[in-house]
Structure 1
Amino acid sequence: MMRISGILAAAATATATAALCLAAPASAQDRTREILGRVLDSVLGPQPQAQQPEAQPVPQTTTVAVPQMPQVLAHPRRNDDRVRDQYRHPAETLDFFGIRPGMTVVDYMPATGWYSRILIPFLGQQGTYIGMNPELDASLTGYWDMYRNAATRIPADASQWVGNEGARVVGVNTNDDLAAYAGSADRVLIFREIHNMRRFGWLHDSLVAARTLLKPDGMLGVVQHRADPDAPASYVLGDNGYQREEDVIALLSAYGFELVGRSEINANALDPANWEGGVWSLSPSFAGAAEGSRERRRRAAIGESDRMTLLFRKRA
Structure 2
Amino acid sequence: MRRCTLMLMTAGLAFALASHAQVPSGVTAAIADSHRPAEDRAQDADRHVADVLAFANVRPGDRVVDLMPGTGYYTRLFSTLVGPRGKVYALQPAEMDKAAPKGLQSLRGFAGQPPYDNVAVLLQPVASMSLPEKVDLVWTSQNYHDLHDPFMGSPDMAKLDRMLLDALRPGGTLIVLDHAAAPGTGVAHTDDLHRIDPAVVKAELAAAGFRLDGESDALRNPDDPHTAGLRDPSVRGHTDRFILRFVKP
Structure 2 length-normalised TM: 0.76
Matched residue of 1:158: which SS? coil
After TM superposition, the structure 1 = structure 2 runs for residues 265-284 of structure 1, keeping only pairs within 5 Å, are 265-275=218-228, 278-281=229-232
Partner of 2:9 in structure 1? none
Give the aligned partner of residue 190 of structure 1: 140
| Residue aligned with 1:209, SS | helix
In the TM superposition, 1:32-47 aligns within 5 A as none
Structure 2 residue aligned with 1:86, among 22, 37, 45? Answer: 45
SS across alignment from 1:125: coil
Identity %: 26
Q: Indicate how the Cα distance of structure 1 residues 176 and 234 shifts in structure 2: closer, same or farther if over 3 A, else same.
A: closer
Amino acid at match of 1:84: Q
Query: 1:279 is aligned with what amino acid?
Result: L
SS of 1:120's partner is helix
Supply the distance in 2 between the matched residues of 1:130 and 1:264 (Cα, whole angstroms).
27
Residue 223, structure 1, aligned to residue 223, structure 2: no
Mapping for residues 174-253 of structure 1, pairs under 5 Å: 174=126, 178=130, 180-181=132-133, 184-199=134-149, 200=152, 201-202=154-155, 203-204=157-158, 206-230=160-184, 232-233=185-186, 235-253=188-206
Choose from 2, 21, 27 the match for 1:69. Answer: 27
Is the CA contact (8 Å cut-off) linking 1:81 and 1:114 kept in structure 2?
yes
Deviation for aligned residue 1:197? 0.6
Structure 1 or 2: larger helix share?
1
What does residue range 265-304 of structure 1 map to in structure 2 within 5 Å? Answer: 265-275=218-228, 278-281=229-232, 286=233, 299=234, 303-304=237-238
Distance across 1 between alignment mates of 2:61 and 2:227: 40
Equivalences, count: 218
Aligned-pair distance for 1:237?
A: 4.0
Structure 1 residues 93 and 214, CA gap change in structure 2 (3 angstroms): same
1:305 maps to what in 2?
Answer: 239
Q: Larger % of strand: which? A: 2
Unaligned runs of 5+ in 2: 1-24
Residue 195 of structure 1, CA deviation = 1.3
Task: Return structure 1 stretches of 4+ with deviation > 4 angstroms.
Answer: 174-177
Equivalent residue number for residue 116 of structure 1: 75
Aligned: 1:164 with 2:114: yes
After superposition, the CA RMSD in angstroms is 2.8
Aligned 8 A contact 2:67 2:140 in 1: yes
Q: Which residue matches 2:62? A: 103
Partner Cα distance (1:144, 1:115) in 2: 17
Aligned pair partner of 1:125 in 74, 77, 84:
84
Please state how far the C-alpha of 1:136 moved relative to its aligned partner: 2.1
User: For the structure 1 residues 72 and 236, does the alpha-carbon distance in structure 2 shift closer, same or farther, using more than 3 Å as the test?
Assistant: same
How far, CA to CA, are the matches of 2:107 and 2:227 in structure 1? 38
2:215 to 262, 270, 273: 262
How far 1:205 moved relative to its partner? 5.7
Contact kept, 8 Å, 2:161 with 2:204, in 1: the verdict is no
CA contact (8 A) 1:259 1:313 kept: yes
- The alpha-carbon deviation at position 124 of structure 1 amounts to 0.6
For the structure 1 residues 240 and 279, does the alpha-carbon distance in structure 2 shift closer, same or farther, using more than 3 Å as the test? same
